[in-house]
Amino acid sequence: MRYRRVPLEGEVESDLLISTDRHTVKPWFQGKIPFAFDLPEIQNSEFSLLGGRMTYLGQTPGAHLIYDVRKHHISVFVFQEQSLRARLDENSLSPKKLSFNMETWSQGGLRYFVIGDASAADISSLAKLFKTSAS
């Protein structure tokens, strides 16, 4: 199954990149967001990169990466930590009863959110790949 998002009114199709190649996805964000990040090597894992798009949390630009694992989509959001500090507090990051699983952490000045309806173990595994690639 291919991820396909219909652009919202006012958006242009160039805001969305459909590619399974991390060497295409990572450079696509250059100049679109004010920071760089590393993508993990997933070749020997159960995860597949589907693509990415620009996203915003309030007025803060970020990257939205879409992965697939066992017919479940997992979203990875990456933002500059400094830009989010005023928007996030401990209550907004605390676990709640949700219909999806989430893991978040800060590393190298970036805030990562891994979110999806995949199992908590799959969310944690993908998060671990990102943590390792950024260190």
Query: Is beta strand 110-116 parallel, antiparallel or unpaired with respect to 48-57?
Result: unpaired
| Domain at 13-89+99-134, CATH class | alpha beta
Structural domain spans, the chain: 13-89+99-134
pTM: 0.81
> Which has more pLDDT, 11 or 95?
95
Q: pLDDT, tens digit, for every residue of 3-42?
A: 344 444 454 445 677 777 888 888 889 989 999 998 998 8
Distance in angstroms (rounded) separating the CA atoms of residues 93 and 104: 8
Q: Is the pLDDT of residue 135 over 90?
A: no
pLDDT of 65 above 70: yes
